[in-house]
Amino acid sequence: MIKSRKTTIVLTSLFLICLGPSITFAQLSSPQIDSLVAVALLKFKVAGAAVAVVKDGKVIHSKGYGFADINTKKSVNENTNFQIASNTKAFTTTALAILEEEGKLKWTDKVIDHIPEFKMYNDYVTQNFNIQDLLTHRSGLALGAGDLMFFPDGTDFTIKDVVTSFQYFKPVSAFRTQFDYDNLLYMVAGEVIARASGMSYELFVQKQIIEPLQMNNTFVGYLQKDKSNLATPHSSESGTIKTIDRYDIGMADAAGGIFSNVSDMSKWMIVHLNKGMYGTDLKTPLFSLKNHYEMWRIHTVLETNQNPRYNSHFKGYGLGWVLTDSKGKFKVSHTGDVPGMLSIVTMYPDLNLGIVILTNTENGGDGLFSSVTNTIADSYLGLDDYAWIDKMVAWRNDDKKEEDSVTNKTWEKVELAKNDKVKKENFIGIYADKWFGKVEVFEKNKQLWIRCYRSPKLNGPMAFFQENTFAIKWEYQAMNCDALAMFSLDETGKAMSIKMKGISPNIDFSFDFQDLELKRIDK
């Protein structure tokens, strides 16, 4: 998600084993940023991007680069809208802060006080789960638990399904003890906002945040009407840049549904850098100083990167923000990712500095936004030019080689086994999971196929891999999410259940096939 990735938050402070001589360089000028992005677009194979930098309350750089659509050659500008994905989460926490100040809820309210039907995996957690627990990724559930309810898009799940689904998930850690990124609980937060405010989540954020800040071209979910300057998603997974279908986030607006641009996102950064104050005289509060500190306070501790370049001492998750330090300067950031749309917002309050980058290409956009953000930020932190673009290209190439090695071996093994005899009738049938619903294995053109009743894009042929395991090539290929299906058989050889897992070691965590427990229901 929303994820960023390949945890929904892509943390840009990377471990560096050794450093050469430190030669500081001046803060990057706009022409230097132009040159930097031009190189990054080429080397990461990204169709288009937009970059803005705010300093001391003013926008000092705001520009688009490359193409909003590779086919039409329409250019990106500072007002081109992108899906900002999980950078929406900070809007959700800000909306809750506003409601808290209006007296319509408290941060420590139990979720069941607002949504009585909300149910977690045990009674204690259900009874004690509060609003801040929805926002801080410490539920005890696994990374991305339940994301298959909206990944890929086009499912028929509703917010009612989400609210009641958590009782079926198995925890992987004790409540409030471990960070595991979660999208579904932000959807529940959106429902809390709707019930407490008496209007939809989308309308509340539009009326109470976006309109007061005069983010005039920013929209939440279905409120996006003007699509005349909207970037098209792309992918460079195949080696060339191609357009892909736009991801419809549907019910997940509170987790990642906002469309925005770097011009408007500059206003968003400025209000946070000004501790909630906005307007020409900075005397109008969007949220209180108390809630500013509440959102920028560590609620869930993360492992600190032992990074000599940035000398970080702490890291944690606040309310919709990742919090750490770089060279003694406080750093506030978040990333976002849906297929073909990636974003990053980074702020250094001690420097009164903010950087936002929006991109429109899968399998390259995160490399661009990380390397360009790091390079700009380094110039303000007084660090040497570390050649981030070239280093990240090299790291990505290494990751791709590892990924290709695993996936290629899988499909090579499938090819070798293509003439093996399989009793298809032993596997054909209907299976069901308590939260995901029904899955059918059937024969089509003399081959086994699988289809998911509630997620129509998840269907495709099953090829024999080994023993009781089949490899699935989904018809959905906007992201690399092919999977293995492992059948358990009874004493007669008939399949009784299915467990699944992704084939690629770099599969996006939102494809949480491993959480499914599919059991045969057509006895």
Instruction: Tell me the domains of the chain and their CATH numbers.
Output: 30-386 (3.40.710.10), 424-520 (2.40.128.50)
Q: What Å distances lie between residue 94 and 81, 226, 275, 286, CA to CA?
A: 21, 25, 12, 9
7 pLDDT more than 90 = no
Mean pLDDT of 418-432: 95
Structure confidence at residue 12 as a pLDDT band (50, 70, 90): very low
**Coil, helix or strand at residue 403:** helix
Check: CB of residue 77 under 8 Å from CB of residue 391.
no
CB 510 within 8 A of CB 144: yes
Say if residue 50's pLDDT is above 90. yes
Distance in angstroms (rounded) separating the CA atoms of residues 477 and 461: 13
Q: What is the mean pLDDT of residues 490-494?
A: 96
276: left (phi over 0), alpha (psi -120 to 50) or beta: left
417 Cβ contact list (under 8 Å, min separation 6): 463, 464, 465, 466
What's the confidence (pLDDT) of residue 224? 77
Q: Tell me which of 34-38, 197-201, 396-400 is least confident.
A: 396-400
More confident position, 283 or 354: 354
Q: Identify whether 456 is preceded by a cis peptide bond (ω within 30 of 0).
A: no
Percent above pLDDT 90 for the chain: 89
Residues, the chain, total?
Answer: 523
495 forms beta bridges with 489
Q: Which two tokens stand for residue 353?
A: 């500095």
Tell me which range, 18-27, 178-187, 237-246, is most confidently predicted by mean pLDDT: 178-187
Tell me the average pLDDT across 181-207.
Answer: 98
Please classify residue 514 by burial: count the beta carbons closer than 10 Å to its beta carbon, then call 0-12 exposed, 13-18 middle and 19+ buried.
Answer: middle
Sign of the four-CA dihedral 269, 270, 275, 278 = negative
HEC string for 15-74: CCCCCCCCCECCCCCHHHHHHHHHHHHHHHCCCEEEEEEEECCEEEEEEEEEEEECCCCE
**Mean pLDDT across the stretch 264-287?**
96
* pLDDT class of 111 with cuts at 50, 70, 90: very high
Residue 52 to residue 60: CA distance in whole angstroms? 8
Identify the pLDDT of residue 14.
Answer: 34
Query: Which H, E and C letters describe 349-378, residue by residue?
Result: HHHCEEEEEEECEECCHHHHHHHHHHHHHH
Alpha-carbon distance 387 to 146, whole Å? 38
Q: What is the mean pLDDT of residues 301-305?
A: 91
The sign of the CA dihedral 293, 295, 296, 297 is positive
pLDDT for the residue 24: 44
Give the model's pLDDT for residue 225: 77
As a whole number, the mean pLDDT across the chain is: 93
pLDDT at position 21 is 33
Tens digits of per-residue pLDDT, 304-318?
Answer: 977 789 999 999 999
Q: Which residue has the higher pLDDT, 22 or 523?
A: 523
121-165, pLDDT tens digit by residue?
A: 999 999 999 999 999 999 999 999 999 999 999 999 999 999 999
Tokens 């970059």, residue located: 51
Section 277-284 average pLDDT: 91
Residue among 184, 189, 187 at smallest CA distance from 109: 189
* Inter-residue contact 91 to 138 (CB < 8 Å): no
**Phi, psi (deg, nearest 5) at residue 230:** -115, 125
Of the pLDDT bands very low, low, confident and very high (cuts 50, 70, 90), residue 1 is low
